[in-house]
Structure 1
Amino acid sequence: MRIFIEKDYDAMSRRMAQIIAAEITHNPACVLGLATGSTPEGAYKYLVDWHKQGCLSFQDVLSVNLDEYVGLAPTHDQSYRYFMQSNLFDHVDIVPENTRVPDGLTKDPAAFCAEYDAYIRSLGYVDLQLLGIGRNGHIGFNEPGDCFVKETHVVDLAESTIDANARFFATRDDVPKQAISMGIGAIMGAKKVLLAASGAEKADAILGSICGAITPHCPGSILQLHPNVAVVVDEVAGSKLKAAGVSVCG
């Protein structure tokens, strides 16, 4: 596991973007597992800028997203499809048909989840999986629980997750209570994983994921078993790693 502690959010975002861009440059037809939220937003801005400068092409890239809220249409401004279009897809040359985001309006969630997993397997899993992490250690929307759920599934969101996401909605009551999330099996099947976090409120989750017991009560801890993980955090998110004496990359 390689750990990078950057001085601030912008430096963290640039490091994330460099890792993603290097993957695309090395393998122009790579499969990217993508995430949403405030953590990757800065990295996506760097990728868009480099594309506009003619340094990076997404023409042959395939993408699969981690998750989507149940009940939100792709056009809803808080849906994750909308986020991806607004922050990345609409600004680069990725082929629309090559992008996949879970369908929050599916009438048959079980069938959809099985099809999503089958599609990911058909790609040979993803080449680089981008992950944020929740304050409670969730990755994707795999919430803390008694077991790791392998398959893509419908998740009942934890109260802490709803609280954390309420800032994006008019009221807390407007936050969806469920989401479709890629399961731990697909995440761990990725050839490489890029885990990122920013802010002091993520410090405990990062420490637990990297140094704590491997337990479904901190879903991010499963990444300790993955052979190729890069962790990129800003100084405050990584503060407890430094205090614990964890080795970091220069």
Structure 2
Amino acid sequence: AGGPGPGLRRPFPAGSTPLGCYEKLVEYYRNGDLSFKYVKTFNMDEYVGLPRDHPESYHSFMWNNFFKHIDISAENVHILDGNAPDLRAECDAFEDKIKAAGGIELFVGGIGPDGHIAFNEPGSSLVSRTRVKTLAMDTILANARFFDSDLSKVPTMALTVGVGTVMDAREVMILITGAHKAFALYKAIEEGVNHMWTVSAFQQHPNTVFVCDEDATLELKVKTVKYFKGLMMVHNKLVEPLYSMKETDAEKSHPKKPYSD
């Protein structure tokens, strides 16, 4: 982020999909390419009733996997409190904090195999705001692996930002990896907007990008995949000179010493 001022407002997801992204961001920070000193974050969701220091709480996940490895200020980290005495008030206050910060600049999130984003399960309102949600059985089953495969330990409710909350972000990046999410990607971009596949709402967002691996595209039409790969080739040609300029500047700043015995 830049210097003092409002800073960049960015929601971050928990879960297995974004781990590679966090590792790369930490690498950039350690190399001196990024600073998070002026970044404000708003996490997407949190389980209800799970202690904040529980290893599977999203509070623990974010600090252990990302925040403690960068230079972000603790007061700039905003995570929903699933143990708040008044959960509705907690959700309303979270929305107010986002507005007070100037809104979200960049939303980064993953999806589930059923197309849910954050904990906006199938059937969620596409104009919803931060609220308490009952989790779908498919989500509970999918999350059981984090709780010793014991369904009785898996939380059944969560606090989550709404689809409308995310749609208000200036830019949205959705990460989708794995063949098990291929049908959700198909529903997201090749069929119409449908509240049973909440990720499909982002067809109507002016600045959304889907970042996928090859496996996630298995359900897409061949023509669709070729089209987006073509766009990516053009993009790479456009940004390649910028990377070359950066490398040249770095070499000038740190010239290689001539080889000698």
Task: Tell me what 2:133 maps to.
Answer: 155
State which of 16, 23, 26 in structure 2 corresponds to 1:48. Answer: 26
Partner of 1:218: 197
2: CA distance between counterparts of 1:206 and 1:65? 23
Q: Secondary structure at the match of 2:42?
A: strand
Asked if 1:203 is matched to 2:182, the reply is: yes
Deviations 1:3-37 (A, max 9, x none): xxxxxxxxxxxxxxxxxxxxx46999211111011
Q: 2:122 aligns with which of 133, 144, 149?
A: 144
Give yes or no for contact 2:115–2:197 (8 Å, CA) kept in 1: yes
Question: What is the SS of the residue equivalent to 1:63?
Answer: strand
* Counterpart residue type for residue 84 of structure 1: M
List per-residue Cα deviations over 1:39-85 (Å, max 9, x = no partner).
10011011111111211110010000000000112211000010100
Cα distance between partner residues in 1 of 2:179 and 2:85:
39
Report deviation, 1:230. 1.0
Greater mean deviation of Cα atoms: 194-203 or 145-154: 145-154
Residue 90 of structure 1: aligned partner? 68
Deviations 1:128-163 (A, max 9, x none): 000101111100100011633521111110011011
The answer to whether residue 209 in structure 2 is matched with residue 230 in structure 1 is yes
Which of 58, 64, 67 aligns to 1:80? It is 58
Distance in 2 (CA, whole Å) between partners of 1:212 and 1:143 is 18
CA–CA distance in 2 between the matches of 1:237 and 1:215?
20
The one-letter amino acid of 1:161's match is T
Distance 1:71 1:141 in 2: 15
How far is the alpha carbon of 1:211 from its aligned partner? 1.5
Aligned residue pairs, count: 227
**TM-score scaled to structure 2, two decimals?**
0.83
**Is residue 120–residue 186 contact of structure 1 (8 Å, CA) maintained in 2?**
no
| Separation in structure 2 between the aligned mates of residue 55 and residue 205 of structure 1, nearest angstrom | 34
Runs of 5+ unmatched residues, structure 2: 234-261
User: Percent identity at matched positions?
Assistant: 40
Taking structure 1 as reference, are residues 244 and 108 closer, same or farther at Cα in structure 2, changes over 3 Å only?
Answer: farther
Structure 1 or 2, whichever has the larger Rg, is 2
Of 100, 119, 144, 1:122 maps to 100
Superposed, 1:173-184 pairs within 5 Å as 173-184=152-163
Q: Is the CA contact (8 Å cut-off) linking 1:196 and 1:232 kept in structure 2?
A: yes
Selected match of 1:30 from 1, 4, 8 = 8
Contact 1:34 1:64 in 2 (8 A): yes
Q: CA deviation at 1:186?
A: 1.2
Q: What is the CA–CA distance in structure 2 between the aligned matches of 1:201 and 1:186, rounded to whole Å?
A: 26
Cα RMSD for the two superposed structures: 1.7
Task: Name the structure 2 match of 1:186.
Answer: 165
Distance 1:166 1:149, change over 3 A: farther
**Which segments of 5 or more consecutive residues in structure 1 lack a partner in the other structure?**
1-23
Tell me the CA shift for residue 226 of structure 1. Answer: 0.2
Structure 1 range deviating more: 144-153 or 163-172: 144-153
In 2, distance between residues paired with 1:172 and 1:197? 25
Partner of 1:134: 112
TM-score, normalization by structure 1: 0.87
CA distance in 1, matches of 2:28, 2:73: 17
Say whether the 8 Å CA contact 2:109–2:174 is kept in structure 1: yes
Does the aligned pair in 2 maintain the 1:28–1:58 contact within 8 Å?
no
1:173 is matched by which residue type in structure 2? Answer: S
